Amino acid sequence: MNRGNFFELFKVLCQYDPEIKQRLDELPANAKMMSPDSQNDLLETAASLQSKKIRAELHAQADTYYAILAEYKGHSKKELIAVCVRYIFNGNLRERAVGFVATDHMTSSGIANKILEVLEPLQLDPELCVGFSFDGAAVTSGGRAGVQVLLEKTFPHAVYVRCHSHRLNLVLSTASKVATFFDVINLLHHFMTGANRHAQFLQIQKELHPNKPCLEPVRSTDIRWSSKSESVSRVLTLYDVILKTLSEFAEGSGQTKIEEESLLQHIQRKRFIFLLVAFSKLFNASDFATKAPSVSVTDCVHMIEGLK
């Protein structure tokens, strides 16, 4: 029934915009302009219009200073680079994504060239670039041949600032490595999201908390600090549901029974419960530092000092 995101979004738009629905209905059956090629053309046009809008804002006033932000990650066997531009327009801070492209060369020169390629249509004055921010990987932060060094040749006045959110994530993740505790948290996530167990987990939730929406377990990862906070909070909130679900499956037989009994023993230990509550309190105190909206540097300093 789901014909894909593009068609389904059009269906939603038609419910709220009579003009779109009328134009769509008036098209002949053999020329609905909904083929994959047409969809790509529409998306390219939308991207082009957005790019023109961003360029217009950057050139609306003389001497509009800007900064470049970039991030790269692997996904679906492709290396992808996201590029953003940060600037002030009409007194308000703007942070706009201007490109998301794949690259075959994850070298410093390959990444730098892709960033320049994405920025070229914006026709920016290199002299007005005041800085760029990437994560702290060697390929970007290297002092001799990193991306930041190569880009300084084009943007002579830019100051490289290593992503402070990324640095904070690394510090907090390293500091929170209580291996057995977070291993159990992720084992609970894996168990509760299993095909035949997930339905039972949701059913028990409805029985124990009939007036509340069903919640899903969250997996803890080292690269995203907030996932640790969410995973711990979710286990604490659903502790009674998890206990009952594990108890029911532990009454079965075979390998599954052994796994359930082991998890059940782990989460009922005083040490696990203590860490669950302690980390929950710690995360409640530190969450604001990783989720705070854009604030000034001085406010950031005060926030971090307060957190420490």
Report pLDDT digits (tens) over 113-134.
999 999 999 999 999 999 988 8
Banded model confidence at residue 290, pLDDT cuts 50, 70, 90:
low
Q: 192 and 284, same structural domain?
A: yes
* 286 or 12, which is more confident: 12
Q: 237 and 116, same structural domain?
A: no
**Domain boundary residue, one of 162, 184, 201:** 162
Q: 289 and 198, same structural domain?
A: yes
Q: 302 and 176, same structural domain?
A: yes
**Domain boundary residue, one of 162, 185, 200:** 162
In a domain, 49, yes or no: no
The answer on pLDDT for 297 being more than 90 is no
* 229 or 254, which is more confident: 229
Q: 289 and 176, same structural domain?
A: yes
Banded model confidence at residue 11, pLDDT cuts 50, 70, 90:
confident
In a domain, 259, yes or no: yes
Six token digits for residue 100: 């998301």
The answer on pLDDT for 178 being more than 60 is no
**How much is the pLDDT for 64?**
93
The set of long-range contacts for 183-188, using a CB threshold of 8 Å and a minimum separation of 24, is 184/263, 184/266, 184/267, 184/272, 185/220, 185/231, 185/232, 185/235, 186/219, 186/220, 186/231, 187/263, 188/217, 188/235, 188/242, 188/263, 188/267
Q: How many domains does the chain have?
A: 3
Q: Which of 223, 67, 227 is nearest to 137 (CA)?
A: 223
**How much is the pLDDT for 252?**
66
Q: 176 and 68, same structural domain?
A: no
Q: 133 and 17, same structural domain?
A: no
CA-only gyration radius of the chain, Å: 25
In a domain, 150, yes or no: yes
The answer on pLDDT for 155 being more than 90 is yes
**How much is the pLDDT for 292?**
62
**pTM for this entry:** 0.52
Number of H helices, E strands in the chain: 14, 5
For 297, the domain range is 171-307
Q: Which of 147, 136, 52, 64 is nearest to 103 (CA)?
A: 147
Supply the DSSP string of 283-296, one letter for each residue: HHHHHHHHH--S--
Q: Contact 209/241 with Cβ under 8 angstroms? A: yes
Identity at 233, one-letter amino acid code: S
**Domain boundary residue, one of 107, 134, 162:** 162
Q: 282 and 213, same structural domain?
A: yes
Q: 296 and 188, same structural domain?
A: yes
Q: 151 and 271, same structural domain?
A: no
* 243 or 163, which is more confident: 243
The set of long-range contacts for 90-93, using a CB threshold of 8 Å and a minimum separation of 24, is 93/294
Q: 200 and 154, same structural domain?
A: no
Q: Contact 101/73 with Cβ under 8 angstroms? A: no
In a domain, 42, yes or no: no
Q: Report which listed range, 81-95, 158-172, 182-196, 290-304, is most confident.
A: 81-95
In a domain, 16, yes or no: yes
Banded model confidence at residue 76, pLDDT cuts 50, 70, 90:
low
In a domain, 46, yes or no: no
In a domain, 235, yes or no: yes
**How much is the pLDDT for 177?**
61
Q: 288 and 179, same structural domain?
A: yes
Banded model confidence at residue 223, pLDDT cuts 50, 70, 90:
low
The answer on pLDDT for 78 being more than 80 is no
- Strands, sheet with 159-162, edge to edge from the N-terminal-most edge strand: 92-103, 78-89, 66-75, 129-134, 159-162
In a domain, 50, yes or no: no
